[in-house]
Amino acid sequence: MGSAVTSNANISSDMVIELCNLRKRFGALEVLKGVNLTAKKGEVISLIGSSGSGKSTMLRCANLLEHADSGDIIIEGEAVSWQEGADGRKPSDHKQVTSIRTNLAMVFQQFNLWSHMSILQNVTEAPISVLGRDKKEVEAEAMGWLDKVGIADKADAFPSQLSGGQQQRAAIARALAMQPRALLFDEPTSALDPELEQEVVKVIKQLAAEGRTMILVTHDMNLARDVSDRVVFLHQGVIEEENTPQALFDTPRSERLKQFLSATVPA
């Protein structure tokens, strides 16, 4: 863990992720307009909202796949260091970036598995090449992760030989193999048909029940309700409302959230 921010040393001791006043612009479009989000150890947070509301951008800024134009990102008490350049703000410490991406493992909508590698190789590649761990030890652990997500029998198969649901479960096993501090899911089920979607939902619910720290961008309101400690509703680059799942879904306060839920949650 990095050195704690002195002013928040006690407050932030159980904080895994702190996003403070993040702003992000793509050309003339300001996608994030000063958003704040914290995730404590063991907390599950779902980000919901219509397309273009800033959910995925917020998640990608957290693990530095996108660079916020301003604001602070603090991971386990360690603030990301930045430098200003001709083309905008970028992280100044490459080792810190690698550490953050290792500890905030991302699971993408489109799986992003390496097609030329077996499923086992997909899961073991980063622990071996990035963390420098022993191959045999990592392979033994990887079989455990594949068993956990229900596809140990597919270890020697290639991604093209798996269903979408199996590929996404392989991507989750790959993320778990890095033993991250938190898992970030970016619409993990939106590319799947309903039957395959439930395979992945089952795994995510299991991970939530284990007390893993997770932030999910999801269109699945049932998933958000079932696994979350908090649900955050984004609208036009700002957090319009956040609350416990029961309070947010059953007694929404803002008119925009009421409209969104009426269109996405079955009566």
- Taking residues 169-179, report their average pLDDT: 96
- Taking residues 100-109, report their average pLDDT: 93
Range of the domain at 237: 6-111+175-264
Q: Is residue 43, in this structure, part of any structural domain at all?
A: yes
- What is residue 264's predicted lDDT score, i.e. its pLDDT? 87
User: What are the residues facing 242 on neighbouring strands?
Assistant: 232
Q: Is residue 170, in this structure, part of any structural domain at all?
A: no
Gap between the Cα atoms of 188 and 169, Å rounded: 10
- What is residue 87's predicted lDDT score, i.e. its pLDDT? 85
Q: What's the CATH number where 247 sits?
A: 3.40.50.300
What rounded mean pLDDT belongs to the chain?
A: 92
- What is residue 13's predicted lDDT score, i.e. its pLDDT? 66
Q: Is residue 50, in this structure, part of any structural domain at all?
A: yes
pTM here?
A: 0.91
In tens, the pLDDT along 137-167 reads 999 999 999 999 999 999 999 999 999 999 9
Main-chain dihedrals φ then ψ at residue 134, nearest 5 degrees: -65, 135
- What is residue 94's predicted lDDT score, i.e. its pLDDT? 94
In tens, the pLDDT along 195-226 reads 899 999 999 999 999 999 999 999 999 999 99
Crossing angle of helices 119-129/164-176, nearest 10°?
Answer: 20
Q: Is residue 227, in this structure, part of any structural domain at all?
A: yes
- What is residue 85's predicted lDDT score, i.e. its pLDDT? 86
- Determine contact, residues 233/241, Cβ cutoff 8 Å: yes
Sign of the alpha-carbon dihedral angle for 211, 174, 191, 55: positive
Percentages of the chain per state (helix, strand, coil), in multiples of 5: 40, 25, 35
Residue 67 scores a pLDDT above 80? yes
- What is residue 84's predicted lDDT score, i.e. its pLDDT? 92
- Binning pLDDT at 50, 70 and 90, where does residue 88 land? confident
In tens, the pLDDT along 31-59 reads 999 999 999 999 999 999 999 999 999 99
- Report the first-to-last Cα separation within the chain, whole angstroms: 46
Q: Is residue 69, in this structure, part of any structural domain at all?
A: yes
Q: Is residue 200, in this structure, part of any structural domain at all?
A: yes
Gap between the Cα atoms of 78 and 247, Å rounded: 32
- Determine contact, residues 186/57, Cβ cutoff 8 Å: no
Q: Is residue 97, in this structure, part of any structural domain at all?
A: yes
Residue 176 scores a pLDDT above 90? yes
Plot region of 214 (φ>0 → left; ψ -120 to 50 → alpha; else → beta): beta
**Count of CB atoms situated within 10 Å of the CB of 131:** 13
- Taking residues 82-95, report their average pLDDT: 92
Gap between the Cα atoms of 157 and 149, Å rounded: 15
Q: Which amino acid is at 151?
A: I
- What is residue 267's predicted lDDT score, i.e. its pLDDT? 62
- Taking residues 114-119, report their average pLDDT: 96
Number of compact structural domains in the chain: 1
Q: Is residue 23, in this structure, part of any structural domain at all?
A: yes
